[in-house]
Structure 1
Amino acid sequence: MLAGALLFAVLWLRGAPVPTARQWGASALVGLLLLGVGNGGLVFAQQSVPSGVAALVVGSLPLWTALFGGLFGQWPGHTERWGLAIGFGGIVLLNLGSDMGGSLLPTLALLVSPMSWALGSVWSRRLPMPHGLMSTAAQMLCGGVVMLGFSLLIGERPTAMPTPRAVLAFFYLVVFGSLVGYSAYGYLLRNARPSLATSYAYVNPVLAVFLGGILAGETMTPTAWLAMGAILGAVVLLTRKK
């Protein structure tokens, strides 16, 4: 909500048109699917489901996007299908040996999360969305309201002041996760094929493994190297088509 409000204020001060009622409605729908259910469901699930399993399930995002894109009339080409299959195989290899764990509700939330994100991503291209970055601002505002509503519904309340480290982490996510990352994703959705826009879901686990080695001293197994090669090769296949 904070990121959406900041972006909205800057755009409004620069003279960008305020979204119409129809555009607010479309933004609310996309914000619900991408942020409320997609991102919110993942955050809820990761409190009890192993992170390796979460990475595996989120790695299915390009596959769901290709499916929904096909149902909307944009099936991936032959090379893209190979890229999708190889990339998902790499995600499976990278998380070999993980188990689902957790209880039923978080597991269901985790499984629904990438499906909802994929549906929202594909559907947004056919809805009367606001123009440019105003679309991103409206989605974040609406999605933030939805997540706040979910939070209050399940009884979450602030019980103590967050630590300085937690406050810094929060503002890091406001700036880089929302203002930079989500805005970049919105731009991709408006200007690239769905399978290419969601290919970041293959790259994220690779970056996580590298950062684990650099920051936490984790070692790479031969299987992990093989998986990373498959993932990067899949991204190459997905980005070849112009």
Structure 2
Amino acid sequence: MDQNTADRRSSLMVWGALAVVYVVWGSTYLGIAVTVESIPPLLSGAMRFVVAGLLLGGVVLARSGVAAFRMTRRQFLGAAVVGVLLLTFGNGMVAVSEQYISTGLAALLVASVPLWLVVFRIVVRDRPKSLTLAGVLVGFAGVAALSLGGAQAGSTFGIVVILFGSLSWSVGSFLSSRIAMPANPFAASTVEMLVGGVGLSLLGTGVGERVDLQAITGRSWAALAYLVVVGSLIGFTAFSWLLGHAPISLISTYAYVNPVVAVILGALVLSEQVTTQILVGGLVILAGVALVISTERRGRPDRGDGPSPSEPPVAARPHGRRE
């Protein structure tokens, strides 16, 4: 195989994996919406991440053995805390909110996560560039435009819940690069999924959620299986492969594409209404995020921003962290 052929093949593989991340992660909002049609939101998340965590842990054990799970108590607690922030409160609130607002609106509000990460950097006296700050202001203007119009775009309660979930996800993403974590990132993800899933189970049971197996539709079971296998495992695998084979500036484009995919799928599959306010507010948010990410890439080529709360936990950690 000559060099040109090898380069073309590598390029095709990169774009194929990127297409998987674009579509799969953008589609998880739709998957969550269909799942919660007949399964309580918090308990559905518990089912998703406990099963995904067990599957991922099994694969890690089969490939790397018990040594992959060797970690100190501090590292385990670090992964556990991140799992609760990302999944119990981050992903869990996405599922709750989608009972009240459209999947497209949810995805667009979640797109504010990279903006929150910049705010947290300011808090710890890491001074971002002027263009980064401008992007944050633009992005939050879009969030405000969508949130303040809750009566038209969706339930105010749902908007408040998903903004809380996005904030929790951002805190978890921020802390994950600054506290002790397991050396093996796949083992760390296993802990995050299992602890986050247990947290969702406790929270769901605590607020009175109950699973009625007879009431669960085949449509919801299929959506849950999709979230476990395709959303959490295949999407995660594609993203992990990309981290080692593509520039982070290219990978980070999922932050702009995922909300667009979510809006389109919500309109096509669930007949969700896409209002002018959603379009304008969403474009403003994405413009702010694009400005932040493009500016940060030029100054911090090895650093990444966390994906949305509907996605698997390992990808949420800033990729510049050294394990």
Question: TM-score w.r.t. structure 1 length?
Answer: 0.76
**1:199 offset after TM fit, Å?**
7.7
What does the per-residue CA deviation read over 1:191-242, in whole Å, with 9 as the maximum and x for residues that have no partner? x99xx99885654332223334554677877766655654554454323523
What is the identity, as a one-letter code, of the residue corresponding to 1:209?
V
Alignment of 1:108-147 (within 5 A): 109-130=161-182, 131-147=184-200
What is the identity, as a one-letter code, of the residue corresponding to 1:43?
A
Whether 1:18 aligns to 2:69 is: yes
C-alpha root-mean-square deviation of aligned residues, in Å? 3.6
Structure 2 match to 1:158: 211
Structure 2 match to 1:208: 262
Residue number among 102, 113, 135 corresponding to 1:61 in the alignment? 113
Structure 1 match to 2:16: none
Structure 1 match to 2:36: none
| Partner Cα distance (2:164, 2:274) in 1 | 30
Whether 1:7 aligns to 2:56 is: yes
Structure 2 match to 1:239: 294
What is the identity, as a one-letter code, of the residue corresponding to 1:30?
V
| Partner Cα distance (1:68, 1:197) in 2 | 22
| Partner Cα distance (2:285, 2:210) in 1 | 40
Question: TM-score w.r.t. structure 2 length?
Answer: 0.59
Contact 2:108 2:285 in 1 (8 A): no
Secondary structure at the aligned position of 1:48 is classed as coil
| Partner Cα distance (1:66, 1:175) in 2 | 32
Between stretches 48-57 and 121-130, larger displacement belongs to 48-57
Structure 1 match to 2:8: none
In structure 1, the gaps of 5 or more residues are: none
Structure 1 match to 2:222: 168
What does the per-residue CA deviation read over 1:152-174, in whole Å, with 9 as the maximum and x for residues that have no partner? 11222222332222211011101
| Partner Cα distance (1:235, 1:7) in 2 | 31
| Partner Cα distance (1:56, 1:228) in 2 | 6
Residue number among 201, 209, 212 corresponding to 1:148 in the alignment? 201
| Partner Cα distance (2:253, 2:114) in 1 | 6
| Partner Cα distance (1:32, 1:210) in 2 | 30
**1:39 offset after TM fit, Å?**
1.3
Secondary structure at the aligned position of 1:14 is classed as helix
Secondary structure at the aligned position of 1:126 is classed as coil
Structure 1 match to 2:232: 178
What is the identity, as a one-letter code, of the residue corresponding to 1:205?
P
Contact 1:90 1:231 in 2 (8 A): yes
Secondary structure at the aligned position of 1:26 is classed as helix
In structure 2, the gaps of 5 or more residues are: 1-49, 302-323
Structure 2 match to 1:86: 138
Structure 2 match to 1:46: 98
Percent of residue pairs identical:
36
Contact 1:199 1:235 in 2 (8 A): no
Secondary structure at the aligned position of 1:74 is classed as coil
